[in-house]
Structure 1
Amino acid sequence: MPTTDDRNAVTTVIASLIDAWRRHDADAYGAQFTQNATYVTFVGTYYQGRRDIVDSHRTLFAKFLKGTQLADEILDVRFYGPSTAVVTGRGDSYKGSRPKKLTKVQTYTLVREPDGQWRIAAFHNTKRKPLMEAISFKAAPALVPASQK
């Protein structure tokens, strides 16, 4: 049975990820992932392994994401046994003021490794398409998630 300490440890991993992004520290960012983690970006790029995640973020922080911060909102934390957690949230990178609406939906699968540390084993990032959602919901109201009814 997961404890409050487990939940805090899992959410601390996400907070550490955001802090590493704030500092543009690709090594600290990558340290939050397992050695064989998978990472899927919102554009569909698939990275395999911590080294790939670190190297890609080193480049991103120097170029496309230079000067950005990471906004995150945890929507749900669920545990599947004592060593697996799934975190669902919203997020976005930004410059200047934090955006009011976060445009990406993110899923993190975390595992407790043999050293007792929680790390991200898989990450998936999806860009929301609010107009397409609205059209879909209008055409087929049964598609509206229960949480939005």
Structure 2
Amino acid sequence: MITIDAEQEIRALFADLEDAWNRGDGDAYGACFTEDAGYTTFVGTVYRGRADLISGHRALFGSVLKGTRMFNEVTGIHFYGPGVAVVTGRGEVSRKRPGRLAKVQTYTLVREAGGRWRIASFHNTKRRPLLEAMSFRFVPDSAPRP
């Protein structure tokens, strides 16, 4: 049975994720993921496993992502049994809060043996509203239902 506690634990995981990013701490960021996590960035980079993810983010936090902040909005948490959840959201990384969160994200979470939720898979893509609107205009039936 899924409880309110499970949702609160997942939201706490996302708070930890955001905090680690904001501090530029690759190790703490990686600790939010499973040992064998898959991680796909919006530019198509794929990290395989926690160690790869940590190593990559240590380098990024020391250079192009230094001083950036993570801005997230969880738009849905869907449970598929007591130990699996899919979280959808919007997000952005910037030095200051952007006007809109342009990236669409999907996370697959698992509850590990010790009871802690971790991210097993992450996929990030940049939303293109103009292209999306054009697509819906030419193929109206392709638009998601409200």
Separation in 2, partners of 1:57, 1:129: 26
Q: How does 1:69-148 map to 2 (within 5 A)?
A: 69-96=69-96, 98-147=97-146
TM-score normalised over the length of structure 1? 0.95
TM-score normalised over the length of structure 2? 0.97
Q: Displacement, 1:138?
A: 1.0
Separation in 2, partners of 1:130, 1:62: 32
Q: How many percent of aligned residue pairs carry the same amino acid?
A: 55
Deviating above 2 A after TM superposition, structure 1's stretches of 4 or more consecutive aligned residues are none
Q: How does 1:46-85 map to 2 (within 5 A)?
A: 46-85=46-85
Separation in 2, partners of 1:15, 1:107: 16
Aligned pair count reads 146
Structure 1: state its 5+ residue gaps. none
2:12 corresponding residue in structure 1:
12
Aligned-partner residue type, residue 103 of structure 2: K
Separation in 2, partners of 1:145, 1:9: 30
Q: What RMSD, in angstroms, separates the aligned Cα atoms of the two structures?
A: 0.8
Cα deviations by residue, 1:59-112 (Å, 9 ceiling, x for unpaired): 11111111110010111000000000000000000112x112111100010000
